[in-house]
């Protein structure tokens, strides 16, 4: 049922079809279907207060085109949307205004939903979800319990940004040039008790399985680099003060061991205090203070000045017994390797710079093939100054020296990863509470004895003021553990989250078997299952909810599992996942990790979550700069929908350039695609709103038009599959230009074209389809099978042959397909534009590519 409007009145047409789809539940995905399934997923948005950014509809339009196209191709399509709704901005807003983050988040979701609906995306809204919904985070907490039970979650002291003035932990983003974003106060690195997930246990698989996924190469390479596998050796250096034992270092270059002239410990290394001689203590203390204010990025920057202090202590080089001074410098990180290195200034840039600065000796042990290389030399070569190994190629020496050290028990080959365990807790309010309580040793022992407990092999503990606290999980049956209301959203001031102030919730009598809780101020309930406990006050980071939402979409109402096994088996994982490249590492790596854990548990049937991945590019402002409020170059989708309509916006976003490119916004381009849609309208609809008189059932289209139609069917189909929407649109424009020139056109041809256009401009597609009379049994264009192209019509008997002389284009001519080389040559000689360039010349070489090119190399 098309509208009655006379002109292309998108303000009437678009809402009309949107309510049609909604009433008919047109995009409902059925969990039981005989059709093949296709699951296409967008990275779900964080519902910020600013509303939808123009970058959102870019990626969402791309997946919507795919979803609509796949439906027309006969697939049962799952195309869901939801809200990644925990996060820092809602919390900051709450701190500022006192509004509950849930209230603020709900309002933002309403706004986002309105905007997304106005864009006409074919989402199955019956599967909408939000990570902040307790029925959702119940399962986020459940997954955490599995990680905990498997020993993949532990507690450790980790450095975080701390602002003494604000008495709060700050996110990296809230620290600008070493000052707090709010107030500009100094900040420092401070150790706090944190939950950490053992992602490193999966490093090898996360690396190896990258070969199985269809992802952009750049993203795979970034993940590879992030995991950062390197083979080397752990080597023990005996300390001169034998009472302190040995120093364990990691190196990727054991072959350069004879060039080690000093050693470096990270300032956080546990041995530093014991090592440092009395006269060096003061230096160390002040140095530590300085480096505490630096990020890892600043510490390891090759361009930054290196600094360090001498500890006063020495170690013994295991290969030659030499005394090696031990330095403490922050260019070595505690989080990588063993937090200690052997420095080889002749063959490492940072070591070299450091050695020059502090006048430490430099010994070359790798010779380049030719002459004296400038130091540091990091290239290929053979060993020198290494008694017993001289002349050996360095990769061989690496193996041999490592083996020799291993034989003596002072070293072993090791694989090391840059990947560090995942810091998984935040000292914030607006996140999933950990389903964990802390109890004393005796109560933990009681719980451990209980049959069917889900405790890890070794207990997770921390010690505070000499007392050990043991982590006890809240039983899965007691989930969700609700986020309690708080008086203030400001952190407690001690580094703990605002939850630490909710005494009633925090200090409890805890039932070990059921997970029930009673405030500790009440009388202890009867029964020996009740123990005194303190709840975990940390919350989970935003990543938690986004690590598994794609699974929940398959069965969003499931209450016995995160999704039913049947749904997980039917829908599997997304066939296509589209989102920004800014997620290339973190989100995608974390989700892969969780998925593999769930795979190992038998919850999901496949080991990788995202088989095919694509990144949409960023849309810049009109000025070519990143869109931002402060620059005043932000474009809102609402404005464009008002002025030109959703179909125009969708088409424009896709026409702008390749989906993965970064592209500036151009208001003139909007007019261009709008004109194109107007032109399509005029080809279908006459002045009074009637069907255009040039369209008729009795018309036979010209061979050229039919050929072009089939070329267009092929190109649009191929381009959608390849996510090349810009060139698909060009082809449709070319076809429309041809339509315009044709005096008559068959209804059939026009309808076929509308089918091609419909995934891009669905409202206009439906409207014009309806006006042309639809087709039997197809009130909506979406129910019509995608057109097939006829290869026979694409075949032609003539092709254009290009003539080149010495590689330069000199002319071209239509020739018969399969023309012989001799005939091609004769044609070239006869060609008025080519012949002059051949006159009086000797042809030295003929390159003939039939149907393409004839290149004549002449003297």
Partner RNA sequence: GCCCGGGUGGCGAAAUGGCAGACGCUUCUGACUUAAAAUCAGAUUUCCGAAAGGAAGUGCCGGUUCGAGUCCGGUCCCGGGCACCA
Q: Mention every residue, 6+ apart, whose C-beta is less than 8 A from residue 357.
A: 305, 306, 307
Q: Which stretch binds RNA (CB under 7 A): 364-372, 450-458, 518-526, 672-680?
A: 672-680
Radius of gyration in angstroms for the set of CA atoms belonging to the chain, rounded to a whole number: 34
Tell me whether residue 175 is exposed, middle or buried, using C-beta atoms within 10 angstroms of its C-beta: 0 to 12, 13 to 18, 19 or more: middle
> Inter-axis angle of helices 637-644 and 667-684, to 10 degrees?
40
Cβ closest to RNA, residue 235 vs residue 419: 419
Dump strand ranges (E) for 442-527: 461-464, 467-473, 507-511, 517-519
The distance of closest approach from Cβ of residue 491 to RNA in the complex, given in angstroms and rounded to an integer, is 10
Please identify which residue in the block is written with the tokens 């150790």: 191
In the complex with RNA, which residue's Cβ is closer, 510 or 655? 655
| Token pair 């309403």: residue | 110
- Of residues 292 and 586, the one with the C-beta less far from RNA: 586
State yes or no: residue 520 binds RNA (CB under 7 A). Answer: no
x/- site string to RNA, residues 797 to 836, per CB under 7 A?
A: ---x-x-x-xxxxx-x--------------------x---
Residue placing its CB nearer to RNA in the complex, 283 or 812? 812
Directed axis angle between helix 667-684 and helix 646-655, to 10°?
A: 120
Find the part of the chain contacting RNA (CB under 7 A) among 239-247, 324-332, 665-673, 784-792: 665-673
Check binding of 754 to RNA (CB under 7 A): no
Task: Give the residue, chosen from 187, 419, 597, 828, that forms a contact with RNA under the rule CB under 7 A.
Answer: 419
374 binds RNA (CB under 7 A): no
Owner of token pair 């001031």: 493
Among 111, 368, 678, 692, binds RNA (CB under 7 A): 678
Q: Is 724 in the site for RNA (CB under 7 A)?
A: yes
Q: How far is the CB of 141 from RNA (least distance, A)?
A: 18
Q: For residue 272, report the phi and psi dihedrals to the nearest 5 degrees.
A: -55, -45
For RNA, the closer CB: 386 or 427: 427
Residue from 488, 639, 666, 703 binding RNA (CB under 7 A): 666
- The reply to whether 733 sits near RNA by the rule CB under 7 A is yes
Stretch of 408-416, 550-558, 567-575, 655-663 lying at the interface with RNA (CB under 7 A): 655-663
Distances (CA, A) of 771 to 777, 781, 782: 15, 11, 15
Residue 829: how many other CB atoms lie within 10 Å: 14
**Of positions 182, 222, 292, 742, contacts RNA by CB under 7 A:** 222
User: Which residues in the 30-49 window bind RNA by CB under 7 A?
Assistant: 45-46
Could you tell me how many residues of this chain bind RNA (CB under 7 A)? Answer: 98
Which lies closer to RNA via its Cβ, residue 47 or residue 318? Answer: 47
**Nearest Cα to 438, choosing from 529, 492, 510, 525?**
510
Question: Is residue 166 involved in binding RNA (CB under 7 A)?
Answer: no
Spatial distance between the Cα atoms of 625 and 630, rounded to a whole number of angstroms: 11
Of 588, 578, 583, the C-alpha closest to 659 is: 578
Site for RNA in 288-307 (CB under 7 A): 295-297, 300-303
How far apart are CB 426 and RNA at their closest, in Å? 5
Find the part of the chain contacting RNA (CB under 7 A) among 435-443, 555-563, 660-668, 687-695: 660-668
Give whole-number Cα distances, 170 to 180, 197, 291, 492, 536, in Å.
8, 20, 18, 13, 19
CB-side exposure of 369: number of CA atoms within 13 Å? 2
Is residue 626 involved in binding RNA (CB under 7 A)? Answer: yes
CB of 240 to RNA, least distance (A): 33
> Residue from 15, 413, 456, 669 that binds RNA (CB under 7 A)?
669
Q: Supply the DSSP symbol for 212.
A: G
Beta-carbon contacts of residue 96 (< 8 Å; ≥ 6 apart): none
Q: Which of 422, 429, 510, 530 binds RNA (CB under 7 A)?
A: 422
Binding mask 438-477 toward RNA (x if CB under 7 A, else -) reads ----------------------------------------
Q: Name the token pair of 426.
A: 């935040």
In the complex, the smallest distance separating the C-beta of residue 484 from RNA, rounded to whole angstroms, is: 20
Q: Which stretch binds RNA (CB under 7 A): 81-89, 363-371, 764-772, 775-783?
A: 81-89
Q: Between residue 350 and residue 369, which ones bind RNA under the rule CB under 7 A?
A: none
| Range list of β-strands (E), 266-322 | 308-316
Give the residue with the Cβ less far from RNA, 149 or 222. Answer: 222
Give the Cα separation of 220 and 9 in Å (integer): 46
Contact (CB, 8 A) for 45 and 58: no
């Amino acid at each position: 049922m098309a509208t009655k409007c006379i002109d292309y009145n998108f303000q009437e047409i678009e809402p009309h079809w949107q309510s049609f789809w909604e009433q008919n539940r047109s995009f409902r995905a059925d969990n039981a279907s005989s059709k093949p399934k296709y699951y296409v997923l967008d990275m779900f948005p964080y519902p910020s207060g600013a509303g939808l950014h123009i970058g959102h509809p870019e990626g969402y339009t791309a997946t919507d085109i795919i979803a609509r196209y796949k439906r027309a191709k006969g697939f049962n399509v799952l195309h869901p949307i939801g809200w990644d709704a925990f996060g820092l901005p809602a919390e900051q807003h709450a701190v500022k205004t006192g509004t509950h983050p849930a209230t603020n988040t709900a309002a933002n979701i309403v706004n986002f939903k309105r905007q997304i609906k106005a864009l006409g995306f074919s989402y199955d809204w019956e599967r909408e979800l939000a990570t902040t919904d307790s029925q959702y985070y119940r399962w986020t907490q459940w997954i955490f319990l599995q990680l905990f039970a498997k020993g993949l979650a532990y507690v450790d002291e980790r450095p975080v940004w701390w602002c003494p003035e604000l008495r709060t932990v700050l996110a990296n983003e809230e620290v600008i040039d070493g000052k707090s974003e709010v107030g500009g106060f100094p900040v420092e690195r401070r150790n706090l008790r944190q939950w950490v997930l053992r992602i490193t246990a999966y490093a090898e698989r996360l690396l190896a399985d990258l070969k199985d996924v269809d992802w952009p190469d750049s993203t795979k390479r970034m993940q590879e680099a992030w995991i950062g596998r390197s083979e080397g050796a752990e080597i023990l250096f005996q300390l001169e003060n034998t009472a302190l034992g040995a120093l364990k270092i990691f190196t990727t270059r054991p072959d350069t061991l004879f060039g080690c002239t000093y050693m470096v410990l990270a300032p956080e290394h546990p041995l530093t205090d014991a090592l440092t001689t009395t006269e060096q203590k003061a230096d160390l203390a002040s140095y530590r203070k300085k480096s505490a204010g630096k990020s890892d990025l600043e510490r390891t920057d090759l361009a930054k000045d290196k600094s360090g202090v001498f500890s006063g202590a020495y170690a013994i080089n295991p290969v030659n017994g030499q005394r090696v001074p031990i330095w403490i410098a922050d260019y070595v990180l505690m989080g990588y390797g063993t937090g200690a290195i052997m420095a080889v200034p002749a063959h490492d840039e940072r070591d070299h710079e450091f050695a020059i600065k502090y006048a430490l000796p430099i010994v070359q042990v790798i010779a380049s093939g030719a002459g004296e290389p400038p130091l540091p030399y990091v290239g290929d070569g053979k060993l020198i100054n290494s008694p017993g190994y001289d002349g050996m190629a360095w990769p061989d020496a690496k193996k041999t020296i490592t083996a020799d050290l291993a034989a003596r028990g002072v070293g072993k080959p090791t694989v090391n990863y840059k990947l560090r365990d995942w810091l998984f807790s935040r000292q914030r309010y607006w996140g999933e509470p950990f389903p964990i309580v802390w109890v004393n040793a005796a109560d933990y022992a009681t719980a451990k004895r209980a049959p069917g407990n889900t405790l890890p092999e070794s207990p997770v503990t921390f010690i505070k003021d000499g007392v050990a606290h043991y982590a006890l999980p809240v039983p899965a049956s007691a989930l969700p553990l609700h986020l309690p209301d708080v008086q203030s959203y400001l952190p407690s001031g001690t580094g703990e989250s605002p939850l630490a102030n909710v005494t009633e919730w925090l200090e409890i009598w805890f039932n070990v078997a059921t997970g029930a809780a009673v405030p500790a101020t009440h009388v202890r309930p009867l029964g020996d299952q009740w123990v005194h406990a303190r709840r975990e006050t940390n919350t989970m980071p935003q990543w938690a909810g986004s690590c598994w939402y794609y699974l929940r979409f398959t069965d969003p109402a499931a209450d016995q599992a995160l999704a039913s096994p049947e749904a997980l088996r039917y829908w599997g994982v997304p066939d296509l996942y589209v989102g920004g490249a800014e997620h290339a590492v973190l989100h995608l790596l974390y989700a892969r990790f969780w998925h593999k854990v769930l795979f190992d548990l038998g919850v999901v049937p496949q080991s990788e979550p995202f088989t095919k991945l694509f990144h949409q590019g960023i849309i810049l402002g009109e000025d070519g700069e990143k869109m931002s409020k402060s620059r005043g170059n932000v474009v809102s989708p609402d404005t464009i929908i008002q002025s030109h309509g959703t179909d125009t916006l969708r088409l424009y976003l896709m026409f702008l350039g390749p989906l993965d490119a970064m592209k500036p916004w151009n208001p003139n381009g909007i007019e261009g695609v709008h004109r194109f849609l107007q032109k399509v309208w005029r080809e279908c609809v006459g002045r009074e709103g009637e069907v255009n008189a040039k369209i008729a059932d009795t018309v036979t289209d010209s061979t050229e038009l039919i050929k072009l139609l089939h070329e267009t069917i092929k190109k649009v189909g191929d381009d959608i599959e390849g996510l090349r929407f810009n060139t698909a649109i060009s082809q449709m424009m070319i076809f429309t230009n041809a339509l315009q020139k044709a005096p008559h056109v068959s209804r059939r041809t026009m309808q076929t074209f509308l089918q091609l256009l419909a995934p891009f401009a669905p409202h206009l597609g439906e409207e014009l389809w309806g006006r042309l009379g639809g087709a039997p049994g197809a009130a909506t264009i979406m129910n019509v099978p995608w057109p097939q192209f006829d290869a026979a019509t694409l075949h032609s008997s003539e092709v254009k042959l290009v003539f080149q002389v010495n590689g330069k284009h000199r002319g071209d001519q239509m020739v018969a397909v399969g023309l012989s080389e001799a005939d091609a040559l004769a044609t070239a000689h006869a060609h008025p534009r080519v012949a002059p360039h051949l006159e009086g010349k000797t042809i030295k070489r003929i390159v003939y590519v039939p149907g393409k090119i004839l290149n004549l190399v002449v003297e």
